[in-house]
Amino acid sequence: MLITHGPPYGILDRVASGEQVGCIDLFNAMKRVQPKLHVFGHIHEGYGKIGKEGMIYINPTICNEKYAPSNSCVVYDL
């Protein structure tokens, strides 16, 4: 399991303008390390959970891009 502040590039990292703002270096590290679960926040518009290449990515941010609490809590059982 890996917990970081922000997302890797291309994974739940799209902001309101449509731009992907995740970290390329983190994306490359994820391919190398391949944790089963990666949890991160920072990009409020990227709320959600996806599975990709055998890994689960979760952005559990509760607030939307205007910092209003609008998303449900995310629960994931290991």
* Secondary structure letter of residue 20 according to DSSP: B
Please name the helix (run of DSSP H) or strand (run of DSSP E) that holds residue 15, with its range, or none.
Answer: none
Using CA atoms, how far apart are residues 74 and 48, in angstroms rounded to an integer? 8
Task: Examine the pLDDT at 78 and tell me if it is beyond 90.
Answer: no
Q: What does each C-alpha distance from 9 to 28, 68, 78 come to in angstroms? A: 9, 25, 24
Q: What is the pLDDT of residues 15-68, one digit of tens each?
A: 999 999 999 999 999 999 999 999 999 999 999 999 998 999 999 999 998 999
